[in-house]
Amino acid sequence: MPYGKEAKEELVKLVQGKPLKVYVYGDDMYGRSVGDIYCSGTFVQEKMLRKGCAWHYDAYDKRPELAAIMGAGSSSRSCRLVGFIKS
């Protein structure tokens, strides 16, 4: 996947070695858990979206504020990661 390495590197910088809180709120069509991830009080998905290193899936998450971040020019950013889905 293009830019996957760059997105992974950003995620590792943000969370490696730190305690995480995961709030699962649903499942995707494959039965995998979908949820919010927090690291030291930081909402990881939002941080990754703002860096252009994540993709917001409105099929699973209807929060307009996250969709707005995705639509706020992040398509021109340099890295992408397709979702945060825990298998």
pTM of the model: 0.72
Q: What is the dihedral of CA 28, 30, 32, 36, to 10 degrees?
A: -20
- Summarize the confidence of residues 15-32 as an average pLDDT: 92
Per-residue model confidence (pLDDT) at position 22: 95
pLDDT at 76 over 70: no
Q: CA-to-CA distance for 54 and 44, rounded, in angstroms? A: 10
Give alpha helix (H) positions in 16-86: 44-50, 64-71
Distance of CA 45 to CAs 28, 37, 77, 83, Å? Answer: 17, 7, 15, 9
Per-residue model confidence (pLDDT) at position 74: 44
Residue-range domains of the chain with CATH: 4-77 (2.40.50.90)
pLDDT at 86 over 80: no
